[in-house]
Structure 1
């Protein structure tokens, strides 16, 4: 089976990181990804994709995973469910690689 996702978009907010112990860290952020067509309202529809990244370097997170930054991600789709009054299903992209695609002068 093949489960591969490659996306490019902008962060809707600064990435949030949680540390579980000294060696495990998970970073979550939402990526706004424009679709490749213009809708009847003359705008491109945008999808908001939930991203999960394990053990990214802290320096990378603080430098590149800020609101509005353009990044590319490569990973796989993964779904899960939870119950809170009713059953909810969530689909996320678990990333293997995150690439900054816009650099400031001097980088």
Structure 2
């Protein structure tokens, strides 16, 4: 089973792009706090994850997201390989979002529209 749930803050602003077929897609990063099990003081560190969202999820994110918003990402892990511009092979693991839920209200925006 490949199922991922992350709660964190948007580290980058999602920007809408479209494939050649017109499908909406956005990529962004999410910052997730981690409490180390070895640290008795409860000191947190932060992990950053790349996320891809498609179709209506991408459209909604671009409309309401802002850097720093607290969200829940429900999705799956995906790995892929590609050739970088310097002709070196690269590998990336990213979260493909099935849904995104906002856990806070945007400051200064009316989301009732």
Superposition TM-score tier, normalisation by shorter sequence: 0.7 to 0.9
The answer (yes or no) to whether the contact 1:4–1:75 under 8 Å persists in 2 is yes
Where do 1:8-19 residues align within 5 Å?
8-19=7-18
Residue equivalent to 2:66: 66
Which runs of 5 or more structure 2 residues have no equivalent in the other structure?
none
Where do 1:1-107 residues align within 5 Å?
2-20=1-19, 23-37=22-36, 43-56=43-56, 58-63=59-64, 65-84=65-84, 85-104=87-106
**Deviation sequence 1:39-78 (CA, Å, 0-9, x none):** 7697411111000000126355221x21000000100000
Post-superposition, which runs of at least 4 consecutive aligned residues in structure 1 deviate over 4 A? 38-42, 104-107
The answer (yes or no) to whether the contact 1:27–1:56 under 8 Å persists in 2 is no
Which runs of 5 or more structure 1 residues have no equivalent in the other structure?
none
In the superposition, the TM-score normalised over structure 2's length comes to 0.78
Report the RMSD for the aligned CA atoms in angstroms: 2.5
Greater shift in the superposed pair: 21-30 or 45-54: 21-30
